[in-house]
Chains A and B, each alone.
Chain A
Amino acid sequence: QITLKESGPTLVKPTQTLTLTCTFSGFSLSSTGVGVGWIRQPPGKALEWLALIYWDDDKRYSPSLKSRLTITKDTSKNQVVLTMTNMDPVDTATYYCTRSVQLGNFAYWGQGTLVTVSS
């Protein structure tokens, strides 16, 4: 059974750096073709893709957020970490961790974690 769970702060101040951890089970990020990604959704708005990391450490980032994002993996711990710098209130959203075996194809999702950016 594949599961993913996001963890991290629920509240961050403007200009701070957000660090989110995705802890997963039921698959290995060292298996060929497997990737883990992050997608966010501001309240009442559409989904927005943020980043992906693959089994071979290939990393892809949203062009509009690339300068602020870093995605890393720890295969031994079954974890993927996303950091986003210089947080702003417009970054308030539910952040989802997902498993991907193809670009755009996210077959498994975490429950999501709501991050609020406010002073």
Chain B
Amino acid sequence: QSVLTQPPSASGTPGQRVTISCSGSSSNIGSNYVHWYQQLPGTAPKLLIYRNNQRPSGVPDRFSGSKSGTSASLAISGLRSEEEADYYCAAWDDSLSAVVFGGGTKLTVL
């Protein structure tokens, strides 16, 4: 049971906009930054969004992040087939004194 809650799956067609949610509590998302990771099949995770809505160099602006209260979202616009992957949210939890991850969302591009 993950501390951060994500839907197990999401889907979209090429070109579509999809969003993935991440729900937490006041001790994690509510008081700390949220970061998002993309894990393509058989590869190590890659940082996609940091500090709620910042993109590392090289990440297309089709990827965006937002946070409100104790929830966060990752949005992907102009969906591409190569973005079929698992997506994870992460945050520091003040109560646990630990980095906590969501359970991951498997994105399928139909």
The CA-CA distance from A62 to B46 in the complex, in Å, is: 21
Q: Which residues of the other chain, B, contact A26 by a CB distance below 8 angstroms? A: none
Comparing A14-22, A41-49, A76-84, the segment that makes contact with chain B is A41-49
Q: Which residues of the other chain, A, contact B100 by a CB distance below 8 angstroms? A: 49, 104
Known contacts A104-B32, A109-B44: does B104 contact A47 (CB below 8 Å)? Answer: yes
Contact B47 A46 (CB under 8 A): no
| Closest beta carbon of chain A to B57's beta carbon, Å | 10
The CA-CA distance from A90 to B34 in the complex, in Å, is: 28
Which of A46, A96, A103, A111 is the one whose CB lies under 8 Å from B2? A46
Q: Look across to chain A and name the residue whose beta carbon is closest to the beta carbon of B4.
A: A46
The CA-CA distance from A67 to B46 in the complex, in Å, is: 29
A73 within 8 A of B: no
Q: Look across to chain B and name the residue whose beta carbon is closest to the beta carbon of A110.
A: B44
A106 within 8 A of B: yes
- Give the size of the chain A interface in residues (CB under 8 angstroms): 20
The CA-CA distance from A103 to B35 in the complex, in Å, is: 10
- Give the size of the chain B interface in residues (CB under 8 angstroms): 26
The CA-CA distance from A111 to B43 in the complex, in Å, is: 7
- Bitwise, B1-38 to A at CB < 8 A (1) or not (0) is 01000000000000000000000000000001111010
B97 within 8 A of A: yes
The CA-CA distance from A96 to B33 in the complex, in Å, is: 22
B98 within 8 A of A: yes
Contact A46 B46 (CB under 8 A): no
| Closest beta carbon of chain B to A14's beta carbon, Å | 25
Q: Which residues of B contact A (CB under 8 A)?
A: 2, 32-35, 37, 44-47, 50-51, 56, 88, 90-92, 96-104
What 10 additional pairs, Cβ within 8 angstroms, besides A63-B96, A104-B99, A105-B50? A47-B88, A47-B101, A47-B104, A49-B98, A62-B98, A104-B32, A104-B91, A107-B56, A110-B44, A112-B44
Q: Which residues of A contact B (CB under 8 A)?
A: 37, 46-49, 52, 60, 62-63, 96, 102-107, 109-112
Q: List 6 A-B contacts (CB under 8 A).
A: A46-B104, A47-B90, A104-B90, A104-B99, A106-B90, A109-B46
